[in-house]
Amino acid sequence: MTYSQADVLSAFDHFERNWGELQRSRHAACTMCLTEFSPQEVTKLYRFEEGIAYEQPLSGALGTDTARCPKCDLPYVVGDAELPVTTPGYLNAVHKHWHT
* Residue ranges in contact with Zn ion by CB under 5 A: 30, 32-33, 69, 71-72
Per the CB < 8 A criterion, the answer to whether 47 and 56 are in contact is yes
**In angstroms, what is the minimal distance from the CB of 18 to Zn ion?**
14
**Position 41: which residue type?**
E
Nearer to Zn ion among residue 13 and residue 41 (C-beta): 41
Closer to Zn ion by CB, 32 or 83: give it. Answer: 32
Question: Could you tell me the smallest distance in angstroms from the CB atom of residue 91 to Zn ion?
Answer: 11
Q: What type of residue is 29?
A: A
Please tell me the distance from the alpha carbon of residue 41 to that of residue 30, in angstroms, as a whole number: 12
CA distance 51 to 99: 20
For Zn ion, the closer CB: 49 or 77? 77
29/81 with CB nearer Zn ion: 29
DSSP readout, 39-62? Answer: GGG---EEEEETTEEEEE-STT--
Minimum CB separation of residue 76 from Zn ion in Å reads 7
Give min distance, CB of 36 to Zn ion, in A.
10
